[in-house]
Structure 1
């Protein structure tokens, strides 16, 4: 009878696990319980069980740390993980340490739990009946195989490892070359890591049952398949592509899942697996341009891209000008043109970069043109959430066109009401020109954001805020210079404290220095008086 340990921080859950199974009937015995990983590790070192059932999130020491400690200590017991649905991503860390089953607490029914236990028990029976399998159990454990493949695709494995050379370790784990690497990209966020791994494995068993294969997850949580092929098939990848297409079709029909598969070139040496992973990933990413639900070979990418030309850049200032100018057609054409260039370049990473820049522009402008900041926060969350769902160039283009159109429509709606604020601002400047007036203070006075006010002011008045304030001050200064007040004092009277700066600005606008202007005024006045006297 195999011994079982239950590790779970909630007593009621531990009680439920004990109660839902007739342990004696299934040939198992609960011999230990612990409330956290630290307690469990002490018990395991004294009396190791055959099966470890552990929660993921626990105080003191969580389930991931417990499994890591157990494996590093040389224990080869079977492990069943219990977790909540939202912990899928966290749980993927446990894969490399060898997990036999994964159960979702909220979905766990007694029959499902019993089935999982029986599967683990069956694997223990097999190992016990075959001394050679039992002796090699710690090496042929799926986690060891996956750990080797992960190291190879990341390029972090050197020729010599803990278990010897890579070819020796691969042979010991039942891995063979030549092979192809298939990167399977499932287009849904409702399918967790373990679910994806399971459906891919089941589908390959059904569609390619005459072939050996290994299914494993990379660190991004996407599923890869190492598919060894006979030597006579290894030269031509067409058969592999046809198999991938059948896999895609089955996933769609049997599970309702859309899947893209990227195929690497032929792998002849284990040191080539990192390059093959990059090829398969690059091929799968081309679904952004080719469309999802296809098998794409890396060899097909050669010559597909437009030769690199001028850099594709987003002009933030131009977009601002079009938005604040309420130029709907011009804005539509500019964004459309950007994605047209991206479509010809066919660089998925560049699409992501440009998309992120456009998102940043949208999220920067909305706070300036909306008084409902809570709504703006929600909108930002929606934008970034939506960005992760855009899978093709057409989807990205259409979504951004709509997002900018909605922003522009909002700006048009508020424009008429905010025009009164500009009138109010100009009146304030006319009355208080001699005081210090900043863009920040005047925008606050009319209850508009600084950037929005500045752009709206220029559109409505025809010149920038600073140009307008300066012009008002110079006009007032011209009137004062007609009298006897010193030029330096005139500058201070109209709000320009630095005499040199006042003289410079005055000359720039009028074409004469303050003194020259005063002389011209006096001369014109004298000529006028002489003319009147002569008449």
Structure 2
């Protein structure tokens, strides 16, 4: 594979280039993406990329200086300029430095980019046959940092003084003095692999590290490293004369921006465990262990930013009480239903529950019992069990699991009430809607199915269900859309099509009419767990 380095100071453009192009199609892989020429030059010296895609106007070191420096060392590395139309003078100078192409940001199309990459690929293939340079075995800068840090944390390779000297040589440096450690964990990590078709996770890793480091630099400095799989370690240093309140405000700003960026670019929830602040690098091991313990118990936390976690043994009575209180969702079904659910829940919670898997298994067991006890028809039960189980499995915290369980109880209670009270014709109509909600369904079509006139079916449906058939169909589609907004990375128009709306604009209007917010606002609130602002959408 040919190695590609992307150099662009606009984060959105940089992440977009990294993730939206099928680089493997051109026998290429992105090894790094950076925000200025100086960072790019360091990567170039270590990695010797085959292609550099670079902006011209950038801070610290612009693209022209970067290209000139590289061309003074070699003429073989391919360079593709990606810049604005007002950079003409830059472009004219760069043209004399043997670049492979110049693409305007304002007018570029995917076809233009792909056509240029294909031509560059052909040139690289031809050159590879004529000249085979020796294989470079040097580690990339990020991998080197990661190795040094792990050698210190886990293997004691370096003393505290040696580590302090090394950390001050990195860019940006971490100075001796007060430090804090945080670990970020991306939840539903497999969704990222599927979305970006990145089995090895290298593109995801580079993109996340780039986002973390850039945000940290913009808020006073710090360094991020890849820790393991879906976890990233962040190290912050503080000036000795800064107050604890100032340091906390800085960390709050960093974590707030990280959450927003991870939602905007990847649409996955993240959890961040944060250590206390302590003097010197000798605190780092203890802080790392502290943050790891908190993340390992993330399921029992009430917030995405974790500074402490309720001990699961101490918190167990509270969690069990919350689950027991959920039985109230069945109060309207009658005393016998309520008491049987209460008794079954009590017995399920008597067993020792050690970790996330134990608790989730209890919820799934209770769901299976619920379906059997209420004698819900098999076709309805299969759909509900699948949906309910999935909601439990993807719930990041026990509070989310309890909410999913309560929603399931409400749904089963409504379904049982409907089965008891509706006529055969209305039950058939409801079943038909739930099986074919993603298709173009009409009142006439359903009335013919149940052998009633459209007017009479409409009256009967409203009498039985409390709303007319079209309102029920719309509400059911919106509920399915909510699930897709939370569980998938599908675009709004794709979700509209998946739930039976042919017009995405109409879908958005109906969604807002039913829920009070737009589909994008709903997704943001559910992923970030906060209030969406207009400018964030």
> TM-score if structure 1 supplies the norm length?
0.38
TM-score, normalised to structure 2's length?
Answer: 0.38
Structure number with greater Rg is: 1
Whose RCO is larger (CA < 8 A, sep 6+)? 2
